Amino acid sequence: MSRTWSRPVVALLGLSLAAVLVVLASIRFGAVSLTTSEVFSILRGGGGATDRFIVLSLRLPRAALAILVGGGLALSGAVFQALLRNPLAEPYILGISGGAAFGAVVVLATGWMSVSSVALPIAAIMGAAIAILLVFGVAFSADRRMDVRVLLLAGVVVGAFFSACIALILSLADAPTVRSAVLWMMGSLSGASWRGVAVVATYTIPVALLLLTLARPLNLLAIGEETAAYLGTDVERAKRLAYGAASVIAAAGVAFAGVIGFVGLIIPHGIRLILGADHRFLLPLSFIAGAGFLALADLLARTVVAPAEIPVGVITAFVGVPFFLLLLRRSLGS
């Protein structure tokens, strides 16, 4: 839509560079700090065993998870905002976080964690899947059309129902279980492993590429379904794909990193304020900005009060909200 490609291309390069620098920094800094040359020598196969373990098995998978989850959340949020035609929409608005948290809390409360390390993400994904299918089933009316207003209401109600289930379980659980459940629900990347990264990548990357092909249909949906149809879009297909794809990405992220707020809400708005609402630029740039932003937030989360960690969701709010308010203020002023 934009007459020139230069502004988005500059933003793309700038944000990508920033994301790479953040990742390098998050490999370097931590409870044990390394020099830049040490980091590069480890990445090329050198370095001591301990440093190699810290970089290759702890920090690198953690940075990779931050990139996938942060990028996925921002992309998913941008899609939900267009699909629901609602600027308040974010990846968790349709009950995905509630379903996933319910699955996670069941595992934490029953002690199934001890059975397998993947019990928690599997339960979280199943919980999210139940929420997605439930909401989809309600919003999919008899004439095979999806009403996004119903989608929104059904999602909010399903999320509230899962919250009630979680409250019930936690009210009966012991204190350590409640603490680990609350921490999980605040979001953390501390459980990152290459296996988790591989699973999240398998869901996120192909689905993200699929969403990029929906850029123009999403532009049209944002101006109204009827007009979108008259401009050649298969509206029902576009809505189903957008809902399914954005949900899968959000569910994969929440299963391995818990409920990380604000990324999916403010990153797409930030990009929109700077570059406009064309989804051909908004979607890829949201992914890159979200990736870099969450990697940065996680770096802060584990270094500010090291060796202790702050929940990364707290950082995303502390860093994201003032920045966003500033951006909002500036865009209104111009």
Partner 1 sequence: MIFESESLVVRFARGRPPALDGVSMRVPSGSLYGVLGPNGSGKSTLMRALLGSVEVESGRADVDGTPARDWNRRELARAVGVVTQSEGIAFPIRVRDLVGMGRYPHLGAFEPEGAEDRRAIEAALRECDVEMLADREVSTLSGGEFQRVRIARAMAQRPRALVLDEPTASLDIRHEMAILKLLRRSADAGLTVLLITHNINLAARFSDRLLLLREGRVAAEGTAGEVLREEILEAVYRWPLAVQPDPVTGEPTVTPLGD
Contact call for residue 229 and partner 1 (CB under 8 A): yes
Q: Is 222 a binder of partner 1 (CB under 8 A)?
A: yes
Instruction: Supply the minimum distance, in Å, between the C-beta of residue 97 and partner 1.
Output: 23
The CB-of-33 to partner 1 minimum distance in angstroms stands at 43
Name the one range near partner 1 by CB under 8 A: 21-29, 37-45, 275-283, 313-321. 275-283
Asked whether position 75 contacts partner 1 by CB under 8 A, the answer is: no
Distance of closest approach, residue 59 Cβ to partner 1, in angstroms: 35
Gyration radius (Cα) of the chain, Å? 20
For residue 224, state whether it binds partner 1 (rule: CB under 8 A): yes
Q: Of 230 and 323, which CB lies nearer to partner 1 in the complex structure?
A: 230
Which residue of 234, 305, 321, 326 would you call a contact of partner 1, by CB under 8 A? Answer: 234
Site string for partner 1, 133-172 (x = CB under 8 A): ----------x-----------------------------
Tell me the CA end-to-end span of the chain in Å, nearest whole number. Answer: 22
Q: Could you say whether residue 239 binds partner 1 (CB under 8 A)?
A: no
Options 280, 303, 319, 328; binder of partner 1; rule CB under 8 A: 280
Interface region with partner 1, contact rule CB under 8 A, candidates 49-57, 129-137, 226-234, 258-266: 226-234
**82: contact with partner 1 by CB under 8 A:** yes
Residues of the shown chain interacting with partner 1 in the complex, contacts defined by CB under 8 A:
1-3, 5, 81-82, 85-87, 143, 213, 215-216, 219-220, 222-224, 226-227, 229-234, 272, 276-278, 280
